[in-house]
Amino acid sequence: MYGSHDGRGRTAARLAAGGATVGAMLLLAGCFSSSDDGKDGGDAGAAIRQRPKSQTPYWVNPEGNAARQMAEYRKDDKSAQAEQIKKIAGQPVAEWIGTEDPQGQTEKLTRAADKADRSALLVLYNLPHRDCGQYSKGGAADANAYRAWLDKVVKGIGDRAATVVVEPDAIPHLLAEGCTPKEFHDERYALLNEAVTKLKELPETKVYLDAGNPDWVRDPGGLVEPLNRAGIAKADGFALNVSNYQTTKSNVAYGKKVSPMVGNKPFVIDTSRNGNGPVEGAHADEEAWCNPSGRALGEPPTTKTGDEQVDAYLWIKRPGESDGECKGGPKAGQWWPKYALELAHNTKH
């Protein structure tokens, strides 16, 4: 069983060129162990507990890559490294749905979350013509293949609680000249709309459409028509900063400009790696978004944001997984212990 992952982080300077995300498979355990009272579960996750539901309702996977790495460090008597990685392993991170068995994967994830009395945090990332041919190129072969995949995901969720981030980059890439072929623009809007519609027909599913980040589509007004066409009116809100490093403050300010233009919809912010903000002088590096050094984990996932317009801080990008084969990194989406340790070490909380 496995889940797909990304690594998005383009800047406005790269809008015309598209950008790059990551889309690789994350190997998960064959079964998940978790309990209603939040006690430990699984060999890799022997020290992993669910976060208090009052702070974050999302499920912590006790068998995730960070939990496995932590267990390995402890086995090798590397207690300092294990404690650093626990900063990641103990937090709920998004599960990216793969293509091999979307229904089975989604069902196992949502059942494990439900057993722990938590909500699954999921990401759909499989649209045709994905990622402008960059590190995470791929996606479904065509629109019908995507619809078939989506239907399986929907069946896998069923009546269990889930929060779903829909297709990171998909809308901003429509605005990037030379990225998504124009003949597929109407199709993409239709597929996004269908995804929102089908997911919202489920009884316990929240849906957020990806809307890029403050340094990508710098004019918030440019997102209004695309978000409307993609079905924002039916969604619970929109998502910002997926796999990027823009500060939480800048995302909140940006989201509050977008929100009143799309029916006052609330939004969520990916804080997984924005603890130190973006790289200084990022516009001088076309791949500043890709595995930049000196970054840190951001605010832990929570629904207690202190702002009624911000539904949650989420770790949508999985900290410690590569953005792509740059700066010494492995393929997009692969676990990279060195980078995970750097993120954790640089984190103040």
What are 326's strand-pairing partners?
Answer: none
Range list of H helices, the chain? 65-75, 79-89, 102-115, 143-157, 170-174, 185-200, 224-230, 248-258, 337-345
Interior angle at CA 308, CA 307 and CA 309, nearest 5 = 90
Name 261's Cβ contacts closer than 8 Å, sequence gap at least 6: 220, 221, 223, 224
d(CA 292, CA 247): 15
Strand (E) positions, the chain? 2-4, 25-27, 95-96, 120-124, 162-166, 205-210, 237-240, 267-270, 310-314
Active-site residue, 169 included? yes
Interior angle at CA 274, CA 293 and CA 123, nearest 5 = 110
d(CA 63, CA 11): 33
Choice among 114, 169, 215, 311 that is catalytic:
169
Choice among 6, 114, 131, 311 that is catalytic:
131
Active-site residue, 311 included? no
Active site amino acids: 131, 169, 323
